[in-house]
A and B are shown apart, each in its own frame.
Chain A
Amino acid sequence: MIEFRNVNKTYNTGTEAVKNANFRIEKGEFAFLIGASGSGKSTLIKLILKEEEPSSGSIIINGKDTTFLKQNRVPYLRRSMGVVFQDFRLLPDKTVYENVAFAMYIVKATPKHIRRQVPMVLSLVGLSEKSKMYPNELSGGEQQRVALARALVNNPSMIIADEPTGNLDPDTAWEIMNLLNDINLRGTTVVVATHAKDIVDKMNKRVITIKDGNIIRDEKGGYDSEI
């Protein structure tokens, strides 16, 4: 569960990236975050991840106000969310398996748990066959699946994706979105910032529209033509 209450974010440069945002994404929900480039989508996501601090207002994640969360607690907050980016962010010198296992090392999972969990998520994203390959041997879509597997492997309660299909061709983009939908159907909250108009239109999910930092529309359905 993610809740924004009167959240403002003004960067040091004076840019007001988010203005008085109020919304609530329930547990198990699938929500798109759409808007033109520079409208504040990434800032909103960084606020959820506590990579940026709100200038005012409060952000509640899984029932906990993170506004005054101590810096040394932030890693534990992030373990409740799996993050996916447009540029995949895989480690080039590690195999597919190692890239995913890496996320488990970090949370100090047992080797036994790692050996069981990694093949399971790799099969979930359809990459069981490629676990020994390196990222540069994979297509963009496959790389994004690895990133998705890594985001999922520690069983987060939500997946946060910032333009996950931005670097992919339409067909591959659909595969990734369908995968995110499958993950959502298994009970994980999914928040996706995106540009992909036709996908948003067809998937018929909740759409939060942001324009120049203001949330101008928040309803189920398609892309609004006004932006």
Chain B
Amino acid sequence: MRFNIIGYFCKEGFRNTLKNKKSTSASLIVMCFTMLIFGVFFMIGENINNVMEQIESAQGIQVFINTDVSDEEVTQIGIDLKEISGINTITYVSKEDALNQMKEKFKDRQDLLTGLEENNIFPASYVVTLTDLNESSKVQDEIKNVVGDRLKKLTSKDETVSALIRIANGIRIVTGVILAFLIIISVVIISNTIKLTVHARRKEISIMKYVGATNSFIRWPFIIEGIIIGIIAGIASILIVAIIYNIISQKIVASPVISSMNISLLSFGQMFNLIVIVYLLLGVGIGIIGSSISMRKYLEV
């Protein structure tokens, strides 16, 4: 019995959608536009986050310890560093490791390094990676605190990272503002579309009211109309975004600057689930809100 009613609602919803082809298309275009714009910013944001992670994991904060600090104390510093929140991994680089790295780096000029075996001037260090790049300066302060005057120096990719953080935050704000604006426009357009169907079917609605239909019963076909438009717009947008993204990301990765930086972009597949969820929520949400707004006037019989 319930199945039958749901079938009735869906049938009516589809009928509504097909009846006003012009305004349904207008809603579809506006919703696709909203979703595409949102998709572009969303994917740029996701990629910047991803690049930040790559940079961070390739190059963490390096904490150099003064050479006059004893081995036991260096070990103790390692233990203390583990206590700092926001640190993901800690790798110890001993004086010998540091020397070996140098030897590796200057393979052709071993003469520069002679005598260093006996008198190793390279400091031991800890390479620290972070759980959240936004915490970088806070964690650095903590590290300075913990290591105190035993700290020789501290290096990080701060400038690159903080520039990226600024860009990422900027994009988030811009996305938010644009999205809010586009959502409002979409809601208005879709509610106008549904208003047309509601108006075209006002006679039917009034008959339904006289026969004793509840408001929710009357509302459902129109909500489903909104949902159908939302879902079609969502699916169309996903297809368009996927095609465009694949073309553009290949171009970007192939460009000399990016390939020299050895940065990889996310594949569309990696963002697919999230985008599907976001698009369907957007589509269904806008559809429901738009149709509810358009129904208000007509339910007061």
Contacts and interface: CB of A to CB of B under 8 A. Distances in A.
B211 A111 contact: no
Given A89-B203, A91-B204, A83 B210 contact: yes
Contacts of A154: 211-212
Contacts of B213: 75, 106-107
B1 interface: yes
Contacts, number: 49
Contact of B217 (A78, A91, A106): A106
A64 to B, nearest CB: 15
Contact of A78 (B4, B212, B215): B212
Interface residues of B, number: 18
Interface in A126-176: 150, 154
Interface string B191-228: 00000000000011011111111110100000000000
B207 A91 contact: yes
B272 interface: no
B212 A89 contact: no
Nearest to A114: B4
Given A51-B301, A91-B204, A150 B1 contact: no
Contacts of A108: 1, 5, 217
Given A105-B5, A108-B1, A75 B207 contact: no
Nearest to B301: A51
A interface, how many residues as a size bin? 20 to 34
A34 interface: no
Contacts of A83: 210-211
Contacts of B106: none
Given A75-B213, A91-B203, 12 more contacts: A49-B210, A75-B214, A75-B215, A78-B210, A89-B206, A103-B211, A105-B5, A106-B211, A108-B5, A110-B4, A111-B1, A154-B212
Interface of B: 1, 4-5, 8, 203-204, 206-215, 217, 301
